[in-house]
Amino acid sequence: MTMAVMPGQVVAETPRLCLHAMSDRNDDDAALMLALLNDPGFIRHIADRGVRTLDQARAYLRDGALRSYAEHGFGMYAVRRKDTGALIGNCGLVRREGLDGPDLGYALLPMHAGRGFAHEAAQAVIADAATRLRLGRLQAIVNPDNVASIGLLQKLGFEFDKMIVLPHIEHALDLFHLPLPKEASA
């Protein structure tokens, strides 16, 4: 059985980044989510979650990431740059209604996009999925017009499966999959 991830726990590190489980009690995590959820690119390519205050961001973390950590042993993680200490986005796994397994998600604040951070964070999440979580595959969904995100998924090795309509989403999405390597038993 997968152990739950605890808020504040470092889940993965890369040469430039540290990914940690978010907490609704951490003001920096709540501020990051508030900024991400109100970024015009997030609203256009993902959704408008209607989160407009820090208290709403805390509730969003409780109902989303924190619940997922406890129930599934994974969720969305805050991404922090090691050189500056700045929180720059999130990346992780989501267990979404309408999909038969976890899917990779990521979002960066615009000022940090285009520098390879999303790729680096996603690689760390994929490695964690293969080793700690021992998953056999990952999925990813993306709006068909999100060219940058589709390019990142392809660079990570994801392959297009089909168009899919998920509950509570009003339009069709591209569904991608990534088989994960089987790890040797410990």
The pLDDT tens digits of the residues spanning 70-111 come to 999 999 999 999 999 999 999 999 999 999 999 999 999 999
pTM of the shown model: 0.93
Residue 7, pLDDT above cutoff 90:
no
β-strand pairing of 103-108 with 159-164:
unpaired
Would you call 72 exposed, middle or buried from its count of C-beta atoms within 10 A (0-12, 13-18, 19+)?
Answer: middle
CA distance 12 to 119: 14
pLDDT band at 169; cut points 50, 70, 90: confident
Mean pLDDT of the chain: 93
CA distance 23 to 63: 11
Which residues have a Cβ under 8 Å from the Cβ of 97 and sit 6 or more positions away? 166, 167, 168
